[in-house]
Amino acid sequence: MRVWPAADYTRVTLENDSNLKTNHFIVKDPERLVVDIEGIDLNPTLKQLVAKIQSNDPYIKGVRVGQNRPNVVRLVFDLKEEVNPQVFTLAPVGEYKHRLIFDLYPVNPVDPLAALIEKGEWPTQPALPEPETRPQPKAEPRNSAEAQARREAPEEKQGTTRMVTIALDPGHGGEDPGAIGRSGSREKDVVLAIAKRLKAKIEQQPNMRVMLTRDGDFFVPLHVRVQKARQVQADLFVSIHADAFVEPTARGSSVFVLSEKGASSTAARWLATKENAADLIGGVNIKHHDRQLASVLLDLSTTAQINDSLKLAKAVLGEIGGINRLHKGAVEQAGFAVLKAPDIPSILIETAFISNPEEEAKLTDDAYQDQMANAVLTGIRKYFARNPPLAKSRMM
């Protein structure tokens, strides 16, 4: 029994030796989700679910577990608000056996863009001006009235004046731990820590804000990561990983962009295939999956997006090379599903190999995480200095 509370949704997972059949329904006033699980009897593991519901869970107030009738156990989730439940099963994969999943989504989910706007500080100066550009001295008008009018008039804006939005995507999460190092370090924890450090540094920059695709330990499907970035009209999408290889000697950092024509190397193809399997490990409700929307996201990537992504990737790779050995000296390309937003320059950073004991130690070190965040930020700033963001609607 596992519980994954998050602002996006709460997931409850029951893992079992065999497939479980269920019936579920909602009861109103007060809101409750009732789930009948067939083919099992009440046991100590099921009773443990009561203690696993935390008081700060956004959607579950508590749970009651009982034997409803022979071979049928009933779970009653007392809810804090109205939810849209998704109840589904997952076939065994990786180290998991049969899983029964309850995903409790709010009926009125938070709009990522509205959340950014609510806490955002609006620009008072041009966003990320070219470093070579220096303001020219202004000639003060001789007429005192004209001078006073100029002082009271709004400052004339040079370049683009708007918030730059960066989507940071810590890989894996929740049911999907990602790669695991020899000392037990989990990729999902390491990359979230780096992403949070990077977020804090970016938000110290003028006119820059950040949306995290996940800010805690919960699973986010690949296409939802892309959707979140598009919902906030992100200017960049940066996916952060720390993968493993079959050989513990593999080491070094890498930066990847999307490829429409095949991978740039066998290793890149292997890695993309592995990352694209995250939905199988994390668990996606195929029946509820918006396949049409997902296919649009995966098929509309353009040459322009890839070209911009390459520019960003080269800038970031150059900075990362200053703090860690590079696995490859050039940007690599492969068909990563998470990089397929058609209108957002997108990169995937492999910060280091968690399967390499030396690099695992780096990845869990505060100083290295800070250095990695600084390097990525510097790369992003260099990219924008050479490729200023285009104007967008003032609603942003």
Are residues 197 and 337 part of one domain?
Answer: yes
For residues 97 and 178, state if they share a domain: no
Tally of structural domains, the chain: 2
**213 and 302 share a domain?**
yes
- Whose CA is closest to 280, among 90, 101, 105? 90
Domain that holds residue 172: 164-386
The reported pLDDT for the residue numbered 121 is 47
Q: Which residue has the tokens 């104007």?
A: 391
- Tell whether 172 and 321 lie within a shared domain: yes
The 8-class DSSP code of residue 154 comes to: P
Q: Which residues of the chain have pLDDT under 50?
A: 121-160, 292-298, 393-396
Asked if residue 94 and residue 6 are part of one domain, the reply reads yes
Q: Are residues 102 and 186 in the same domain?
A: no
Prediction pTM value: 0.84
State the amino acid at position 383 in one-letter form.
Y
59: tokens are: 């959607």
Q: What is the dihedral of CA 48, 278, 323, 269, to 10 degrees?
A: 160
Task: Specify the long-range contacts of residues 15-19, CB closer than 8 Å, at least 24 apart.
Answer: 15/96, 15/97, 15/98, 15/99, 15/100, 16/40, 16/97, 16/98, 16/99, 16/100, 17/97, 17/98, 18/98, 19/89, 19/98
Q: Is residue 302 part of a domain?
A: yes
Residue 50 is predicted with a pLDDT of 92
129 SS3 class: coil
Helix (H) or strand (E) holding 202: helix 187-202
158 assigned to some structural domain:
no
Whether residues 97 and 233 share a domain: the answer is: no
207 occurs within a structural domain: yes
Contacts of 3 (CB under 8 A, 6+ apart): 10, 11, 12, 13, 49, 52, 53, 54, 57, 60
CATH of the domain at 233: 3.40.630.40
> Is 188 in the same domain as 319?
yes
Report the SS3 class of residue 191: helix
- Max Cα–Cα distance, the chain, nearest Å: 95
Instruction: Tell me if 129 is assigned to some domain.
Output: no
Same domain, 348 and 213: yes
Does 270 share its domain with 367?
A: yes
Give the separation between CA 294 and CA 270, rounded to whole angstroms: 22
**Cα–Cα dist 153/138, whole Å:** 14
Helix (H, G, I), strand (E, B) or coil at 178: coil
CATH code of 40's domain:
2.60.40.3500
Number of Cβ atoms within 10 Å of the Cβ of 78:
15
Let me know if residue 126 belongs to a domain. Answer: no
Cβ-contact 37, 86 below 8 angstroms: no
Residue 123 lies in a domain: no
Q: Are residues 181 and 330 in the same domain?
A: yes
Q: Is residue 391 part of a domain?
A: no
122 vs 191: CA distance, rounded Å: 29
| Pairwise CA distance, residues 237 & 258, whole Å | 12
95 and 175 in a single domain? The answer is: no
Which helix (DSSP H) or strand (DSSP E) does residue 307 occupy? helix 303-320
How far is Cα 230 from Cα 345, in angstroms, rounded to an integer?
11
pLDDT of residue 110: 79
Q: One-letter amino acid identity for 40?
A: I
Domain contains 139? no
